[in-house]
Amino acid sequence: MKQLEDKIRKVGRPLSEHVLLVDMFLNHQVDCTLMRDIGREFARLFADAGITRVVTIEASGIAPSVMTALELNVPLVILKKARSVILDGGVIQTEVFSFTKQSSYQLTLKPEFVHVGDRVLLIDDFLANGEAATGAAELIKKAGGTVAGIGIVISKNFQPGLKRLRESGYRVEALAEIEEMGEGYVRFAGEAK
């Protein structure tokens, strides 16, 4: 998605070969016009997938997934990572290890929010190793849903997530695919070295 690549070039900040700072438009300050267009693009890409529900993971997946669910006119479900005293029992959980953050958390879903037969579009902001998406897909399937698609805002293709999810049989669309980055530069898929 050209508009997203331009934004990453303009205000994204590669902190290292592995981490891209996007707090100017995606996960701290949010560019809502861009989020709306991201929602439209995911809705267009998955128009033929019979989506009945969008699922995301808190927190940074929420902005793009709200816009996607709005465009598809389906409910949105936010998987929880933070512990909560209100979510007590009646939940399904799976442990996810974040290589980026070097810590684990329990991804949590109340199964009543994903119905048997639901065709779910899973949306997340970053794809690195694919651990979060794999955990989320597991919960959706446990609840009786089908993962009909996975939409990623930014895939870091030099990490194994995209390849892994596709090899597992998921239909994955990433709006910006970064092949390589370093201090001050980003190379997207399809661009010459």
Report in angstroms the alpha-carbon separations of 128 from 3, 22, 44, 87, 134: 21, 15, 24, 28, 11
155: which DSSP letter? E
CB 72 within 8 A of CB 161: no
15 vs 47 by CB, closer to ligand G4P: 15
Q: Total binding residues for ligand G4P by CB under 6 A?
A: 22
71 vs 125 by CB, closer to ligand G4P: 125
Phi, psi of 80 (to 5 degrees): -95, 145
Stretch that binds ligand G4P, among 30-38, 48-56, 97-105, 166-174 (CB under 6 A): 97-105
- Is 109 an interacting residue with respect to ligand G4P (CB under 6 A)? no
114-153 residues near ligand G4P, rule: CB under 6 A: 125-132
- Is 24 an interacting residue with respect to ligand G4P (CB under 6 A)? no
8 vs 52 by CB, closer to ligand G4P: 8
Compose the 55-74 pattern: x for residues touching ligand G4P by CB under 6 A, - for all others.
--x-xx--------------
68: which DSSP letter? H
Sorted by sequence, the CB contacts under 8 Å of residue 98 that are 6+ apart come out as 104, 105, 131, 132
153-172 residues near ligand G4P, rule: CB under 6 A: 156, 161
Position among 31, 37, 94, 98 found at the interface with ligand G4P (CB under 6 A): 98
Token representation of residue 123: 């949306």
Beta strands in the chain (DSSP E): 13-14, 20-21, 53-57, 76-79, 92-98, 103-109, 119-127, 146-156, 172-182, 185-188
- Is 100 an interacting residue with respect to ligand G4P (CB under 6 A)? yes
Return residues touching ligand G4P (CB under 6 A): 19-22, 27, 57, 59-60, 98-101, 125-132, 156, 161
